[in-house]
Chain A
Amino acid sequence: MSTEHIAPEKASSGSFINNPRNRAIFYQALLLLGLGYFFYSIISNALTNMEARGIKSGFDFLTSAAGFDILMTLVPYSATSSYAMTFVVGLLNTILVSIIGIFLATLIGFVMGVAYFSQNWLIKRLSVVYVETFRNIPLLLQVFFWYFAVLAALPSTRESLSLGEIIFLNVRGLFVPDLIGQGGSSFVYGSVAVAIIGIVFMRKWAKKRQDETGDQFPVMRASLGLLFGLPFVMLLITGFPFTWDYPELRGFNFQGGITVIPELMALTIALAVYTGAFIAEAVRAGIQSVPNGQTEAARSIGLRENRIMSLIIVPQAMRVIVPLLNSEYQSLVKNSTLATAIGYPDLFTVFVGTSLNQTGQAIEIVFMTMAVYFAINMTISFFMNRFNASVALAERK
């Protein structure tokens, strides 16, 4: 066989115009010029427009006092705080709603996704109906439904629904007792941290032992034992250094405890239920992607049914599920901006809503907000990609 190579330059010994490299340079230069003109014109337009409307530019506004109160803050905040503080409060509220939402959505999604494969006809139908109903209704409508139709129909403060006079639910929100740590409580928190570190090491050791000897160690039971046992022992030693702060009806509203405002409840329920439907669909697709032969092979080597699920099916299904989860989590964070429709004070509501209205500095504020959502999504993507790498098929090297 001839191994003669024809150099590409010689093959296209045509004119200068037909040389692909020259053409590439030409097209890219054209795009660069076009983009340059585009940005030049919008920037100069923006500058003249802003001057004409008397809008300031720059980030000086961040240090000036915001002058408005926020419905719910996780850190101390008052009307005299700066816009930078508003930003932080909003960001924390966004992160709070995202974390609760992601947690609940994953829980609902996995339960409903696995329920699709139930032997029980009713459970399977329930899963299908859930997915097809909530996936196909706009999220904003669901937020409104929970907020204006369900939570607004709850009883007033005086006629609160209560669970053992400890937890109260009414039109103003959900009131739960707060756990307040005293002297010695840091030992209990410390023991939780020690338990978690202990679990990580134990898992490594158990895996190594199984690889060497084939003996299985009850990792799950031992982990749970450590996680609950160690803090419990610590609680006994330190003599329960906690007090409960119960919510109490004083005047027109409940005082004390933790208050979950209805805006937060409506938003998290809607986000969790809506995203949960998509996650259930992802889980279903993931499990279906594992060929039947895997189950049959596992049965033929004598694995029990629940072992088949946890050792054979789920690890293979995760390869399909994790990339889908990644995009669902990201869309949940982006969709949390709908908070602004019901007035939950997330980053979007307090910053793009109120702060922008007051300062008029649209460009800075919109870009700051966009950058934050971008950064949150990048973080999610980073962790999910690492998780994905750990469940991915180990290719032959």
Chain B
Amino acid sequence: MREFKPQDALPAPIESAGLVGWVRQNLFPNVGSSIATIVIFAFLAAVVPDMVSWLFIEANWTGTTQEDCTNDEGACWVFVSAWMQQLMYGSYPVDEVWRVHLGLISLAAVIAAPYALPKALRNKVGVPLFLLYPFICAALLDGRTFGLEFVSTDYWGGFSLNIFLAAASIIIAFPLSFLWALGRRSDMPFIRSVCVILIEFFRGVPVLALFFMGSVMLPLFFPEGTNVDKLLRVWIVLILFMSGYMAEVFRGGFQAIPSGQYEAADSLGLSYWQKTLLVIFPQVIKVSMPNILATFVMLFKNTTFLLIIGIFEILSTTQTALSNSNWLGGHAPEGYLFVAFVFWVCCFGMSMISTNIERKLDTSHRN
């Protein structure tokens, strides 16, 4: 009896496997695509080496003044390092910078607290700490409340100010926007229309117009003689602006909650606030988290607009540095690239987190 012996399978043809196969499939699948590949490669080959050389190889890294930038063929990163203190902390006194650091660390702590604290303490300690953070941090930076040296808000600035303003605004906007979103869903016609007007107003108007409103119109609305700090007015505007957007995010969240949840809560005999805070709110937060982060990224980027009304955030500091008489060498590309890099890292990081959450929450059957 002859035994059946299967022959060994032939290896995949060279043109469809391994590196060659990958290149064929992904770079040269057809004529049009091949042309595109060649054009892009030619472009990259023309641009990338020069760019890498300018950015890193020929760049001037060490020194303190413009005279240290001896190589004209490369970027002058000395410009950035010389202005680093200003770019990060504005004119905040150097000896007191630890307060800014403490503020940033406590921001991270307040965000991490709900994860670290035991479940029982989460709502009783974590949430109040979160909501009180902006006020504690402002008092810390100001210094008078804690008996520290007084630092006027005129000296606050730099990238830390962008972070503080964005964080402090979204934290206060959380409860406020939640109320607006509830109001918009309310059965009471007057409350509903007031909330609709508020939300649509702050969403429909350019944020720059709101900042101008804060800087030129708001002072007219306060009683005569009261002088409200400029940064505080900006903060109020940012909170209201953020609340408009967040209210719509929350509204989307409310709509995603099945009506069975409301009915179940009603049938248990929970009051309106018990139902909203214990049953609905946690679910709304969960489904809205990616959108909340996206809104926060928008707010964070928009803090650079404050330059226009003369707040010394990072971009404004960069402009000042660029027009400084000791640094008139045309360092705009270096300065802007640095600021862009700082923002890019933060915003890209947050959008990665948001994509991650979205993926975790997404239980639908994707094809």
Q: How far is A374 from B210 in the complex, measured between Cα atoms in Å?
A: 13
Say whether, besides A136-B343, A137-B343, A334-B207, A46 and B220 are in contact (CB < 8 Å): yes
- Taking a contact as CB atoms under 8 Å apart, the answer to whether B191 and A28 are in contact is yes
Q: How far is A148 from B318 in the complex, measured between Cα atoms in Å?
A: 12
Binds B, one of A201-209, A257-265, A362-370: A362-370
Contacts of B332 in A (CB 8 A): 144-145, 148-149, 152
Give chain B's interface residue range (CB within 8 Å of chain A): 35 or more
B125 within 8 A of A: no
A163 within 8 A of B: no
Q: How far is A141 from B342 in the complex, measured between Cα atoms in Å?
A: 12
A83 within 8 A of B: no
- Taking a contact as CB atoms under 8 Å apart, the answer to whether A374 and B205 are in contact is yes
- Taking a contact as CB atoms under 8 Å apart, the answer to whether B190 and A31 are in contact is yes
Say whether, besides A27-B191, A45-B222, A122-B36, A348 and B209 are in contact (CB < 8 Å): yes
Q: Which of B40, B207, B212, B330 has the most CB of A within 10 A?
A: B212
Binds A, one of B1-9, B76-84, B254-262, B298-306: B298-306
Binds B, one of A47-55, A177-185, A191-199, A225-233: A47-55
Say whether, besides A137-B343, A348-B208, A377-B204, A123 and B40 are in contact (CB < 8 Å): yes
B138 within 8 A of A: no
- Taking a contact as CB atoms under 8 Å apart, the answer to whether A366 and B224 are in contact is no
Q: How far is A359 from B28 in the complex, measured between Cα atoms in Å?
A: 64
Complex interface residues of chain A between 1 and 60 (CB less than 8 A to chain B): 24, 27-28, 31-32, 35, 41-42, 45-46, 48-50, 52
A361-397 interface mask toward B, CB cutoff 8 Å, 1 = contact, 0 = none?
Answer: 0110010011001100110000000000000000000
A72 within 8 A of B: no
Say whether, besides A136-B347, A149-B333, A119 and B188 are in contact (CB < 8 Å): no
- Taking a contact as CB atoms under 8 Å apart, the answer to whether B220 and A133 are in contact is no
- Taking a contact as CB atoms under 8 Å apart, the answer to whether A140 and B305 are in contact is yes
- Taking a contact as CB atoms under 8 Å apart, the answer to whether B347 and A340 are in contact is no
- Taking a contact as CB atoms under 8 Å apart, the answer to whether A348 and B206 are in contact is yes
Contact of A141 among B27, B188, B194, B339 (CB under 8 A): B339
A145-177 interface mask toward B, CB cutoff 8 Å, 1 = contact, 0 = none?
Answer: 100110011000000000000000000000000
Say whether, besides A28-B190, A45-B220, A373 and B304 are in contact (CB < 8 Å): no
CB within 8 Å: A-B pair count: 150
A216 within 8 A of B: no
Contacts of A122 in B (CB 8 A): 26-27, 36-37, 40-41
Contacts of B319 in A (CB 8 A): 144
A121 within 8 A of B: yes
- The SS class assigned to the A binding surface is helix
Say whether, besides A45-B222, A119-B26, A141-B304, A334 and B206 are in contact (CB < 8 Å): yes
Complex: chain A residue closest to B305, CB-CB: A140
B277 within 8 A of A: no
Complex interface residues of chain B between 297 and 344 (CB less than 8 A to chain A): 297, 301-302, 304-305, 307-308, 315, 319, 322, 330, 332-333, 336, 339-340, 343-344
Contact of A138 among B25, B209, B302 (CB under 8 A): B302
Q: How far is A362 from B339 in the complex, measured between Cα atoms in Å?
A: 33
A88 within 8 A of B: no
Contacts of A335 in B (CB 8 A): 206
- Taking a contact as CB atoms under 8 Å apart, the answer to whether A138 and B315 are in contact is yes
Contact of B224 among A35, A48, A126, A132 (CB under 8 A): A48
- The SS class assigned to the B binding surface is helix
Complex: chain B residue closest to A123, CB-CB: B36
- Taking a contact as CB atoms under 8 Å apart, the answer to whether B336 and A144 are in contact is yes
Contact of A370 among B188, B205, B222 (CB under 8 A): B205
B348 within 8 A of A: yes
Contacts of B29 in A (CB 8 A): 119-120
Say whether, besides A120-B36, A292-B367, A348-B209, A138 and B343 are in contact (CB < 8 Å): yes
Please give the distance in Å from B143's CB to the nearest CB on chain A: 30
- Taking a contact as CB atoms under 8 Å apart, the answer to whether A374 and B204 are in contact is yes
- Taking a contact as CB atoms under 8 Å apart, the answer to whether A49 and B224 are in contact is yes
Say whether, besides A28-B191, A120-B29, A377-B204, A144 and B209 are in contact (CB < 8 Å): no
B223 within 8 A of A: yes
B335-360 interface mask toward A, CB cutoff 8 Å, 1 = contact, 0 = none?
Answer: 01001100110011001000000000
- Taking a contact as CB atoms under 8 Å apart, the answer to whether B217 and A362 are in contact is yes
A356 within 8 A of B: yes
Contacts of A48 in B (CB 8 A): 224
Say whether, besides A291-B367, A362-B217, A374-B204, A31 and B191 are in contact (CB < 8 Å): yes
Contacts of A148 in B (CB 8 A): 322, 332, 336
- Taking a contact as CB atoms under 8 Å apart, the answer to whether A121 and B26 are in contact is yes
Contact of A49 among B188, B206, B220, B301 (CB under 8 A): B220
Contacts of A120 in B (CB 8 A): 26-27, 29, 33, 36-37
Q: Which of B208, B222, B307 has the most CB of A within 10 A?
A: B208
- Taking a contact as CB atoms under 8 Å apart, the answer to whether A133 and B36 are in contact is no
Contacts of B41 in A (CB 8 A): 122
Q: Which of B40, B209, B307 has the most CB of A within 10 A?
A: B209
Q: How far is A214 from B29 in the complex, measured between Cα atoms in Å?
A: 35
Q: Which of A121, A291, A363, A373 has the most CB of B within 10 A?
A: A121
B208-241 interface mask toward A, CB cutoff 8 Å, 1 = contact, 0 = none?
Answer: 1100110011011111100000000000000000
Please give the distance in Å from A55's CB to the nearest CB on chain B: 8
A113-139 interface mask toward B, CB cutoff 8 Å, 1 = contact, 0 = none?
Answer: 000001111110010000011011111
Say whether, besides A119-B33, A122-B37, A356-B216, A45 and B367 are in contact (CB < 8 Å): no
Contact of B208 among A45, A340, A374 (CB under 8 A): A340
B72 within 8 A of A: no
A337 within 8 A of B: yes
Q: How far is A50 from B216 in the complex, measured between Cα atoms in Å?
A: 12
A338 within 8 A of B: yes
Complex interface residues of chain A between 308 and 352 (CB less than 8 A to chain B): 330, 334-335, 337-338, 340-341, 348, 352
Q: Hey, which bits of chain B sit against chain A, CB under 8 A?
A: 25-27, 29, 33, 36-37, 40-41, 187-191, 194, 204-209, 212-213, 216-217, 219-224, 297, 301-302, 304-305, 307-308, 315, 319, 322, 330, 332-333, 336, 339-340, 343-344, 347-348, 351, 367
6 contacts between A and B (CB under 8 A): A27-B191, A137-B340, A149-B332, A340-B208, A363-B220, A370-B213
Further 15 A-B residue pairs, CB within 8 A, beyond A362-B217, A374-B205: A24-B188, A49-B220, A122-B37, A122-B40, A141-B304, A141-B340, A144-B315, A148-B332, A153-B330, A338-B208, A338-B308, A356-B212, A366-B209, A366-B212, A366-B216
Q: Hey, which bits of chain A sit against chain B, CB under 8 A?
A: 24, 27-28, 31-32, 35, 41-42, 45-46, 48-50, 52, 118-123, 126, 132-133, 135-141, 144-145, 148-149, 152-153, 291-293, 330, 334-335, 337-338, 340-341, 348, 352, 356, 362-363, 366, 369-370, 373-374, 377-378
